[in-house]
Chains A and B, each alone.
Chain A
Amino acid sequence: MESSTRMLDHGTPPERFARGWHCLGLADSFRDGTPHRVEAFGGQLVVWEDTQGNLNVLDGYCRHMGGDLTQGTVKGDEIACPFHDWRWGGDGKCKQIPYARRVPLRARTQRYPVVIRNDQLLVWHDVEGSEPDLEILPPVLPGLDEGLYTPWTWEVVPITDSHCRELIDNVVDMAHFYYVHFSFPTSFRNVFEGTVATQYMESKGRPDKAGGYGSPDLFLKSEATYFGPAYMINWLEVDYKGFETEVVLINCHIPTGPDSFTLQYGITVKKPEGIDDDTAAYISKKYAKMFGEGFLQDVHIWKNKVPVQNPLLCEEDGPVYQLRRWYEQFYVDRADVQPEMVDRFEFEVDTTKANEYWQEEVAENLRLRAEQEASGEAPEGADDAENPQIMSGT
């Protein structure tokens, strides 16, 4: 092999799961008096509501003989194991063993501190067992409690054969929006600081890739921020033929294994003036479908790519290395977090060259399509409803 040949460094994946807040889903989906199973952090969690209305999250396996608590029963405030009926409280302590004289003092299991934020159940995960850091919670969405937004549309998608860092990389990946999602980024910036990382993107639809929407009329302003390693709020302003919609997309995930995670995304739409709730909910569902298709486009890439620790970048690429440096803070002990992982960093991608080239390519595709149409052939890719015209920050 020539020494100048570029080799891929696959690196070795981390041996732990990220420190931070992880969203398990909409809080109300756990409020039915039964235990719920959530695959997470290489195992499973049990989630249930107690009589006070609090949601509790414990490791899913009983510390007695390893019974599966998610198949147990909620008895009073406790989760009862299906194997020998040990009763576990939300504080992680075994409260009662009905057949025993006393409960061993050491009967304590792993509990996950919880917070309800924006109608969602968040848990704190840290292999070092630290107290939950309330300072770095995702912000409360203004207007949500006031009823200005539609109810959440929420989707859960298990992803295998990919480490969740692939999902994170999208924060800086300007060009994939054109090639994978068929949108056309015109402006692209990143800012990372502390536990927060943002992508600012302006884009328009690609008129050569879908028949339905008159895409030159579609503009999107997207602000997508990770609050910690696994919870992104994506504020989207969509302008379609002068009709503006404000969409909030939550893109969050729970790592489940060394190369698997559960992707969850939720959509709410600011109710437009003069539109009834049903119509607003319908719009929200439409967006959910569109973003869902967008995620699947990413998933297809992830499943077929290899991990790469040494990406080779061109001048038009975003700051992959800096983003990964930021992301790494969640995988090391608190004491090992380096200043450069959390120091503020800003990056503006130059989209000029890309836009020139893409402009031409789109024009050429449209010309070819027109030719085909003129000759009576069904144009390929036209009217392709599978291709979402609007893409989120991932």
Chain B
Amino acid sequence: MPSFVPTSADTLEDQRLYTSARLVEVACLDCLARVGVKKNSEHHTSIQWTAEARGHCPELNRRTGGRDFQPACRRLVASIEAAARDGQVPIGAEDGY
């Protein structure tokens, strides 16, 4: 059953650009998780996990749900910062994505 259906093919391309273009793989320095990362600027970060990566993160797996379920894993954040410093994650955006 269709849900929110775009009526233009360009919309599908937009969806791709905003959700998956320019993602760079970054490996956590402390566990086996590998995530997709994008940085449009110094302060912006986009992190796309997969179920496999999520299964590897001991920090997030320790959480039990409710309110403390969502905050970021500090080790992964540090790993991404390091990758950005090393130039492994380019900083800057294309046309808004």
Contacts and interface: CB of A to CB of B under 8 A. Distances in A.
Given A9-B11, A313-B18, A193 B6 contact: no
A278 interface: no
B46 A340 contact: no
A310 B8 contact: yes
Given A313-B18, A346-B46, A14 B4 contact: yes
> Which of B3, B40, B43 counts the most A-chain CB atoms under 10 A from its CB?
B3
Nearest to B67: A139
A14 B1 CA distance: 8
A362 interface: no
Interface residues of A, number: 48
Contacts, number: 124
Contacts of B41: 315, 350, 352
A344 B51 CA distance: 8
Given A325-B19, A344-B54, A313 B96 contact: yes
Contact of B7 (A12, A191, A198): A12
Given A7-B8, A12-B4, A343-B54, A321 B19 contact: yes
Interface residues of B, number: 38
A343 B8 contact: no
A89 interface: no
Interface string B52-64: 0010000010000
6 smallest A-B Cβ distances: which pairs? A331-B3, A344-B49, A350-B43, A139-B66, A350-B44, A321-B18
9 contacts: A9-B11, A12-B5, A12-B7, A14-B3, A193-B49, A310-B6, A315-B96, A328-B3, A350-B40
Interface of A: 7, 9-16, 139, 165, 191, 193, 196, 198, 200, 223, 225, 235, 309-310, 312-315, 317, 319-322, 324-325, 328, 331-333, 339-340, 343-352
